[in-house]
Structure 1
């Protein structure tokens, strides 16, 4: 082995030691960078064959710079991230719904419904008291406002899911474009047999983020480039990346409001994109399943309240002795548009606290041709003919009157007008002057018992404990208003706890996988400092070899 070979050996040692210290410095400077994988310099011995000695060492050779990472663990983290992303969105949605209902508490629907029925009980104790009637009206208005607020916030929550879906889709497009560009970088580096370590780290970070947004599958070719697929189509390939785009559709809800829904499709193929997991599936399930479910619950409660209160109220008498007055607007379609009726809003005297009698049906009057003509004032034509003597029938049951002539069926509001409280009839145009009228109607017996009667107020107050919700298979109701409300609030709590538990389980698994990965790829400052000292000494030793060989050459040249 010549002195020049010794110089070459020392030079190789210097270069390898310097490269090793550079890598240790790179590891130390990136110790706190998320997703950075520590690098390791792989070395091998360099030798030549000598016929007399066999293999003779020629120093050290740099093989490559290796990224310390377990790709199998990365795949497991991505798989669990899909579940983490999904349950994050579901848990967020259930928490938002809990905040909307604010139960248990003094600002929720149940509290104000109790106050509403309390005011009816108070009115039953003081049926002629105007302040008690005003309290019924006020508490009803507060309750309807609470229904409006809950329905509005649920509707807004559903719409915000659309905005978040749009943000996630935009982020997917950004990520897929970056992965495509990194594919090009990695392919250009690794086609020569080297490792594109930093580009792979960046790509792994993007894949980890993407897996939390939607479920993905991935394959890698021999050049290190990957193909990412989702929803049955390729998002990224070594030669292309496909963008996603939004489509919108609008529909009318039962209360007449417009709701906009968005969907996702591939921009090039126009095929629908249906996420199978991650944030996007959680957002779609929240928007299309979870939130509408609780919208339906609160609508059922509002409609049942309107139906049962109106049923009793229209049968009762106001302070002036009128019946047939609605307490709530009968056109209510749900919690978003429940209102007290115009009659109650305008005058608390129209609150029916007194009760009416039983409905008597199938009463027929026959009116002579000259008894009533167009232009005549309203006439008391409703009488009970089989009574002795015949009595006037007031408080006619609304929509029960049928008026016929020999040739025609007359139309209410077009051919005639009826005052249901007073039991009067009036023609609205000519053409029936010589015709006999047959009038069928239902009426109530008993009559008005006076403003001190509290029967209807008691019946409405009793609704608090009546079984009016959740009909069984044969149509019998099985729960009260409060039991129905408490049941779906309890279901909300269970759903939230279940999503929270699922989220914590998946996060724990990700944490365990990440801890295992960190034990392989994370930078240990103690280890890197030890490497610096070690390579410093190998650098100094290589330098000493070169200086010693230089002196030997100097001696040899001066002989």
Structure 2
């Protein structure tokens, strides 16, 4: 090897070590950055020895796509479970002590006790107090449900705003990737940012990717709607600030196509938007329908038949639209919000609790008999008499009111339990997918530090080669001199 060739080899080695050290240093600096993919300086043989020809970015398209799918599934499931847990807390948590069924059971028991001792005023007051608890439970749960729907609507609006922002940012980095690829280069930093944006987008809406010319990405939702294709598509939503049982929320539109709500406890939702739509438009309204049916049943059970006309008895409604027929086996939307106890039997409002025994709208206890219990026994019997409920409530359509109210709790617990189990499964899958992807793309400090040690040795060897060449040149000059 000539002295000039040796110098060129040493210079090439110094250049390679410098470039490789820069890449390793950048890897170490970003070791804690989950959006950073490891870089590697690739060497190739040249006339003057090895040379760095490119910096490759670690990636695995199959794992990335699986990770995006897992993120969207886990996000949708977690969003649904959070809403169902909130609904459970409305009923008092694990023991459901604030559920209408709990208060109904207490009302039934004390009503039977009053029927056995119809001359006890204190028992009458207890029954009225229990009835007030039932009405308050229905009122508060119904109002909490509508508040939850309004919160879900606000979260949907926040998600839509964020999704539009992410898509605009995605376009900027996607354009950088296309431009660099077309120029024969690779913008690894832009690729990192683009993949990071993809994970954030997938937590809001399920997304699939299609790679096109110059590494251009097109994005589609899980149901095939175009989300991004050269330019971002418009995602629109008109929020509704106030919700009642009769108010329906607006749709989320992606490029004019409605986003489909999730379904089931093990929800089909991909991303938080679909799960929020499921809570707002399906889960909460179904539970509201159950509360409304309980209210309709109570008003009918305790109504009084006066001259062939059914009049409100212990329970009555206030504010329901004229024309709603409680005698028809159909949900009266919002009835649970306005059901109340008849003021005629509330002592603090100038009423008389004993009218529950004697009759509110007419005197059934004509002889003012202290042992009169005909009305009270009919109410107790009504608790054991099956009635027909609207199928829209999604539980048994034929049964006692107590069984129906208990079934409502069971319905919520069943769907929440399914959501919890599915959430564990989907989050476990996400953790494994992320781990597999990180194993391919993440920076290992041990590996990078080991590489730096190797580069140090390479640098020392090159330095020795330069020193040897220097000595030989010096010796030649001295010999010639």
Q: Give me the whole-angstrom Cα distance separating, in 2, the residues matched to 1:325 and 1:554.
A: 117
After TM superposition, which residue ranges in structure 1, 4 or more long, deviate above 6 angstroms?
249-252
Q: Does 1:294 align with 2:214?
A: no
User: How many pairs are equivalent?
Assistant: 448
Decide which of 95, 103, 108 is 2:85's aligned counterpart.
95
Counterpart mapping for 1:118-517 below 5 A: 118-230=109-221, 232-238=224-230, 240-248=231-239, 259=247, 261-266=249-254, 270-274=256-260, 277-311=270-304, 326-329=313-316, 333=332, 334-345=335-346, 346-348=350-352, 351-354=355-358, 448=367, 450-468=369-387, 470=389, 478-517=398-437
Q: Secondary structure at the match of 2:213?
A: coil
Q: Deviations over 1:426-455 (max 9, x none)?
A: xxxxxxxxxxxxxxxxxx9x9546343112
Instruction: Provide the residue aligned with 2:15 in structure 1.
Output: 15
1:154–1:325: structure 2 CA closer, same or farther, 3 Å change rule? Answer: closer
Q: Deviations over 1:257-296 (max 9, x none)?
A: x636232235xx6554557622111111111111111111
Alpha-carbon distance, 1:12 to partner:
0.7
Q: Give me the whole-angstrom Cα distance separating, in 2, the residues matched to 1:251 and 1:546.
A: 79
1:513–1:352: structure 2 CA closer, same or farther, 3 Å change rule? Answer: closer
Alpha-carbon distance, 1:469 to partner:
5.0
Whether the aligned pair in 1 keeps the contact of 2:125 and 2:353 (CA below 8 Å) is no
Q: Secondary structure at the match of 1:223?
A: helix
Instruction: Provide the residue aligned with 1:553 in structure 2.
Output: 473
Instruction: Provide the residue aligned with 1:55 in structure 2.
Output: none
- The more displaced of 197-206 and 450-459 is 450-459
Q: Give me the whole-angstrom Cα distance separating, in 2, the residues matched to 1:531 and 1:355.
A: 92
Q: Give me the whole-angstrom Cα distance separating, in 1, the residues matched to 2:385 and 2:311.
A: 22
Q: Secondary structure at the match of 1:296?
A: helix
Whether the aligned pair in 2 keeps the contact of 1:328 and 1:341 (CA below 8 Å) is yes
Instruction: Provide the residue aligned with 1:372 in structure 2.
Output: none
Instruction: Provide the residue aligned with 1:61 in structure 2.
Output: 51
- The more displaced of 9-18 and 73-82 is 73-82
Q: Secondary structure at the match of 2:302?
A: helix
Decide which of 74, 79, 84 is 1:84's aligned counterpart.
74
Alpha-carbon distance, 1:114 to partner:
2.4
Instruction: Provide the residue aligned with 1:5 in structure 2.
Output: 5
Higher relative contact order (CA 8 A, sep 6+): 2
Greater fraction of residues in helix:
2
Segments of structure 1 that go 5 or more residues without pairing to the other structure are 48-57, 317-322, 357-397, 399-419, 422-443
Whether the aligned pair in 2 keeps the contact of 1:36 and 1:201 (CA below 8 Å) is yes
Q: Deviations over 1:486-526 (max 9, x none)?
A: 22222222211212222222222222222222222222222
Whether the aligned pair in 1 keeps the contact of 2:150 and 2:240 (CA below 8 Å) is no
User: Normalising by the residue count of structure 1, what TM-score does the alignment of the two structures yield?
Assistant: 0.73
Q: Secondary structure at the match of 1:261?
A: coil
Q: Deviations over 1:363-417 (max 9, x none)?
A: xxxxxxxxxxxxxxxxxxxxxxxxxxxxxxxxxxx9xxxxxxxxxxxxxxxxxxx
Segments of structure 2 that go 5 or more residues without pairing to the other structure are 262-268, 321-331
Q: Deviations over 1:203-226 (max 9, x none)?
A: 112111211211222222332221
Q: Secondary structure at the match of 2:146?
A: helix
Alpha-carbon distance, 1:145 to partner:
1.0
The alignment yields a C-alpha RMSD, in angstroms, of: 3.0
Q: Give me the whole-angstrom Cα distance separating, in 1, the residues matched to 2:307 and 2:145.
A: 35
Q: Give me the whole-angstrom Cα distance separating, in 2, the residues matched to 1:510 and 1:291.
A: 28
Q: Secondary structure at the match of 2:336?
A: coil
Q: Deviations over 1:179-235 (max 9, x none)?
A: 111112223333332322222122112111211211222222332221223365543
Whether the aligned pair in 2 keeps the contact of 1:325 and 1:352 (CA below 8 Å) is no
1:506–1:210: structure 2 CA closer, same or farther, 3 Å change rule? Answer: same
Whether the aligned pair in 2 keeps the contact of 1:89 and 1:283 (CA below 8 Å) is yes
Q: Secondary structure at the match of 1:263?
A: coil
Q: Secondary structure at the match of 1:33?
A: coil
Q: Give me the whole-angstrom Cα distance separating, in 2, the residues matched to 1:284 and 1:232.
A: 18
Larger radius of gyration: 1
